Amino acid sequence: MSSAAQSSTGVHPSNEPPLVRTVRLVHISEEYQVVMALNTTEFVHPPPYVPWVRLTENCFPNKSILYERCYLHDDFFYFALCHPNPFTPDINPYGECFRLAPQDLPILPTKSRNGKTIYRLHHDLKDQWQSYIKMILDIISVVDYYWRGLTRLNPYLLDAANFPYLKQHATDLAARQAAWDTRQATIGLMAYLSMVVTTLEIKNKPEWKARVFKATQRQDWVDWVSTSSAIRLTGPEERRGASYIPTKQLLAENGSPDF
């Protein structure tokens, strides 16, 4: 998957083109492998390939997938749909708490029981982040089982309990980096939601909206998820993009590659 990320404003999902999928052969370790691209009109050569080992449950992924366009494999292929800046006020009225630069994050020093100074994200901002992440996960929990049954795919869903902003750190810099990693991981969760909702719309399953409203009683969030470009805009060149080697099943579902 390869894509030059650009910012965007509002979007009308009904006018969105379907996801762009292309494939190519890539020479890897004396063999040729199939690599699939998502959301791209210019399929650049993929980055260096690193063999993938599936994560055990309740693990936080390698930081590279939070920031870089890289090989995502089947566990994290949805990170290709990460929006470059999904918290701007024109597309995300709920994301104000994430509109901070790394140097502006409120990191508090406190004394631990053994007298050492520890650092953590200010509890007010931490609570706001937890509330936002919980709503995203609540929506995902409603539609995820439904989506997995339709697609038979099983990607790794980030566990918010392992996000590093919840922990204490030995230095201000470490706490600041942990908070920023959490912000990036939250964008990954939004990419997961984007993947699920877009797939359900493409498969003509609009009832997902009623299911989300019934579970959350938040029509404002249903409207935002279904119309905002922070979630729904998945056209070419609008997301980060990535590369991955698809499973045989995924290739079969998308037709034979045309090399």
For residue 29, pLDDT over 60 is answered with no
For residue 204, pLDDT over 60 is answered with yes
Comparing 248 with 66, the larger pLDDT belongs to 66
Which of 47-56, 159-168, 180-189, 235-244 is predicted most confidently?
180-189
Does a structural domain hold residue 258? no
**Prediction pTM value:** 0.76
Does a structural domain hold residue 167? yes
Task: Give the domain extent around 159.
Answer: 13-253
pLDDT digits (tens, 9 = 90+) for 109-153: 998 888 899 999 999 999 999 999 999 999 999 998 888 888 888
Exposure class string for 49-83: b at 16+ Cβ within 10 A, else e: beeeeeeeeeebbeeebbeebbbbbbbbbbbbbbb
Distance CA 100, CA 163 (A): 18
Please tell me the predicted confidence (pLDDT) of residue 117: 95
Distance CA 41, CA 1 (A): 10
Does a structural domain hold residue 259? no
Does a structural domain hold residue 3? no
Does a structural domain hold residue 1? no
For residue 176, pLDDT over 90 is answered with yes
Mean pLDDT, all residues of the chain = 76
Does a structural domain hold residue 245? yes
| CA 186 from centroid of its chain's CA atoms | 7
Does a structural domain hold residue 5? no
Per the structure, the count of domains in the chain is 1
Task: Give the pLDDT band of residue 237 (cuts 50, 70, 90).
Answer: low
